[in-house]
Amino acid sequence: MADQALLKEFEAVVGADNVMSAESDTHAYSYDAAVLDSVAPAVVVRPTETEQLGQITALCNKHGLPLTVRGAGTNLSGGTIPSKGGVVVLTGALNKVIELNTDDLYAIVQPGVVTAKFAADVAAKGLFYPPDPGSQAVSTLGGNVAENAGGLRGLKYGVTKDYLMGISFFDVDGNLVKSGSRTVKCVTGYNLPGLMTASEGTLGVFNELTLKLIPPPQAAQSMMAVFDDVQAASKTVSAIIAAKILPATLEFMDNFTIRTVDNFRKAGLPTDAAALLLIEVDGHPAQVAEEAEKVEKICSEHGARSVDVARDADHRAKVWQARRDALPALANLKPTCVLEDATVPRSKIPAMMQALDRISKEFKLTIGTFGHAGDGNLHPTILTDKRNHDEWVRVEKAIDAIFDEALAMGGTLSGEHGIGMAKAKYMEQETSRATIEFSRRMKKSLDPKGILNPGKIISALLD
Ligand SMILES: Cc1cc2nc3c(=O)[nH]c(=O)nc-3n(C[C@H](O)[C@H](O)[C@H](O)COP(=O)(O)OP(=O)(O)OC[C@H]3O[C@@H](n4cnc5c(N)ncnc54)[C@H](O)[C@@H]3O)c2cc1C
């Protein structure tokens, strides 16, 4: 139970209705989408004006209270699991699109704007905001920046960092820091938008984001290539890129995932296929026609049993819905679903698929794999029950093995879900001791009391 005097201080900033300390409330914000133990905060605060974010941050710093900002809590790395006795700050009410500029192609938004709603507002003005995490229906733009979220279109259009032109955020003392610009070019000072991207709430609290918008492609063509052999599908991914074609989207699903998704929504997928590639090319209509033809040819030459081209918008939507259903469908199967996002150079996808097959056999686990194959960003998803102790020990060993393999192939711990608490222990393995020390010095100078989202990224390694 939080100290009454402290609660009054928070109430003075956001009003009594926006300060919650009952167990039912604190419990609701004690966990996120990651499979980690929950930790209840002492108090949950819901600012309704962005200035209040700064006042709350200053208050937490004054009292040495750990502060965890929470968008939708969909991160898969424990980034929003609070510290015991700490404060959770909800950004849901900070959901205004402040400016949507169709002349200079940018938007200024508050951090709690929901990604899909923003993309729809932008589309209604005839423009395009490409980053589309699978969670976009609920995820927030602040959370997207703090995790550097990617999505199905990452291959051609890049990820959130490629669209962050400017940011304003509160430092740990509640002072407003501004960096970046509404202009296409801006080299005024340090690249603080870059530093804040993927910072997971550990360096500052975002107040406003300036996001780049682009013209939408004039045409698009989606295809589903069906394979009887996983290795053939994996090799096709590299072959398409090597042919200098950059599809907007190039996604992979293995047989287990195909069957699970089909069972989930009766999507009419070829359940006997070993693997599917879902491919979309977009751009000028003539370029789309030419690239679609080339992609079809490459798929066939690499052993695709069939390549189904989407007939119309409905058919196209159905294909992409099937892909977006992959995680919810798999998560439905067992009480615990561990989704990883180990990422390898694209040419190593065939080797990574072999390694995942070996790991699932070695540790006797069910692993469904799908993901952004064009980015080398696979999502091996382990289906288990955390209450089964023996199996859980094998799951933990399998996760270690997955990261060992990805790093040995020149890959990375996270393509898009961040490090959070879940992967902090592997950080040195990918980087170096000096990298951890450098990050640690930076964190200590910006947040001397270590109140900003402790325990995440490198914080686990602080004294
Ligand atoms: C079904 C599902 C599908 C997903 N698909 C994808 C995908 O395709 N691609 C992808 O990249 N991710 C995906 N994710 C992961 C997740 O949705 C993204 O990381 C997303 O960006 C998190 O947004 P959020 O609003 O939920 O942030 P949260 O989970 O609430 O927070 C994430 C981090 O951001 C920090 N944060 C939030 N707001 C602020 C702020 N204002 N200032 C400072 N720090 C802040 C938090 O403290 C935390 O560390 C998926 C998750 C699920 C559950």
Give 249 Cα–ligand 1 centroid separation in angstroms: 21
> What's the one-letter identity of residue 324?
R
**Ligand 1: does its nearest atom lie under 6 Å from the Cβ of 174?**
no
Residue 450, SS3?
coil
User: What burial class does residue 389 get, using C-beta atoms within 10 Å of its C-beta: 0-12 exposed, 13-18 middle, 19+ buried?
Assistant: exposed
- Is 269 a domain residue? yes
**Ligand 1: does its nearest atom lie under 6 Å from the Cβ of 206?**
yes
Pairing of strands 87-90, 43-45: parallel
Which range of residues forms the domain containing residue 111?
Answer: 97-212
> Tens of pLDDT along 173-203?
999 999 999 999 999 999 999 999 999 999 9
Which CATH number is 376's domain given?
Answer: 3.30.70.2740
Atom of ligand 1 nearest to the CA of 79: 49
Under-50 pLDDT residues of the chain: 461, 463
For residue 188, the model assigns a pLDDT of: 94
- Do 338 and 295 fall into the same domain? no
> Which of 195, 212, 229 is at the close of a domain?
212
Residue 186, SS3?
coil
For residue 265, the model assigns a pLDDT of: 85
- Do 326 and 245 fall into the same domain? yes
pTM of the model: 0.95
- Do 165 and 244 fall into the same domain? no
Rounded to whole angstroms, the Cα distance separating 81 from 29 reads 8
Query: Taking Cα atoms as reference points, which of 329, 277, 348 lies closest to residue 307?
Result: 277
For residue 463, the model assigns a pLDDT of: 44
Pairing of strands 67-70, 304-309: unpaired
- Do 201 and 271 fall into the same domain? no
- Do 108 and 83 fall into the same domain? no
Pairing of strands 67-70, 106-109: unpaired
For residue 459, the model assigns a pLDDT of: 66
> Which of 331, 356, 380 is at the close of a domain?
331
Rounded to whole angstroms, the Cα distance separating 240 from 243 reads 5
Number of domains in the chain: 4
**Ligand 1: does its nearest atom lie under 6 Å from the Cβ of 69?**
yes
- Do 168 and 274 fall into the same domain? no
Listed in sequence order, the residues at least 6 apart from 390 whose beta carbon sits closer than 8 Å to its beta carbon are: none
- Do 129 and 65 fall into the same domain? no
**Closest residue (by CA) to atom 37 of ligand 1?**
143
For residue 448, the model assigns a pLDDT of: 96
Rounded to whole angstroms, the Cα distance separating 335 from 316 reads 32
Q: Are 211 and 226 spatial neighbours (Cβ–Cβ below 8 Å)? A: no
**Ligand 1: does its nearest atom lie under 6 Å from the Cβ of 327?**
yes
The alpha carbon of residue 397 and the mean position of all alpha carbons in its chain are separated, in whole angstroms, by 24
**Ligand 1: does its nearest atom lie under 6 Å from the Cβ of 55?**
no
Atom of ligand 1 nearest to the CA of 140: 25
Which CATH number is 147's domain given?
Answer: 3.30.465.10
**Ligand 1: does its nearest atom lie under 6 Å from the Cβ of 380?**
no
